Amino acid sequence: MEFLEQRREHALALFRIVIGLLFVMHGVQKIMKGTELLSWPAGPMSLIELIGGGLVLIGLWTRWAALLCSGSMAYAYFVVHQPKALLPIQNGGELAAVYSWAFLLLAFTGAGAWSIDALRQSSKRSLANA
C-alpha cells in the first residue's frame, strides 16, 4: 500500500483534472444546445459548469469552486431529477448525483499536485522561509 500512498497527490490531481474537464464539457454541451444564460436555472448552471469546472480543471481556488459545483449538482438532483422518482436510476439523476459527490470530495481533499493552488502554496512557503 505504500506504493499507492506515495502517488496519492498525483492520483487526486488526475481525478480533479478529469472531473473538471468533463464538467466543462457538460456546460459547453448546454450552451451549444442553445441554453439561454438568463434562463433559470439552466443559464446559471451552465455558467457554474463552465467557470467552476474550469477552475477545478486548472486547480485554482479548487475547494471553493468544487463546493459551488457540488451544491449546484445537488440542487439539480433534488429540484430537477428527484421529483420524477426516488432513485437516481429511475429519475435520470445519476450524473448529477455522481458530480455532486465527486466535487464534495474535492472540496474536502483539495487540488492535489499539478495545480495552481499547489504552486501558490509552495511560493508562499518559499517566501516564508526566505
What are the pLDDT digits (tens) for 95-107? 999 999 999 999 9
Would you place residue 116 in the very low, low, confident or very high pLDDT band (cuts 50, 70, 90)?
Answer: very high
112 burial (CB, 10 Å; 0-12 / 13-18 / 19+) is buried
User: What global pTM score does this model have?
Assistant: 0.91
Q: What is the pLDDT of residue 111?
A: 94
Q: How far apart are CA 26 and CA 49, in angstroms?
A: 7
Q: CA–CA separation, 52 vs 91, rounded Å?
A: 25
Q: What is the mean pLDDT of residues 5-12?
A: 94
| Closest by Cα among 6, 2, 15 to 101 | 15
Q: Is 34 helix (H, G, I), strand (E, B) or coil?
A: coil
Round to whole Å and give the CA distance between 55 and 66.
8
Note whether 106 and 11 are within 8 A (CB): no
pLDDT at 127 over 80: no
pLDDT for the residue numbered 129: 78
pLDDT bucket at 1, cuts 50 / 70 / 90? confident
Work out the pLDDT band at 130, boundaries 50, 70, 90: low
Q: Predicted confidence band at 126 (pLDDT cuts at 50, 70, 90)? A: confident
Is residue 69 pLDDT above 90, yes or no?
Answer: yes
Alpha carbons 62 and 102: distance in angstroms, whole number: 12
Please tell me the total number of residues recorded for the chain in this structure.
130
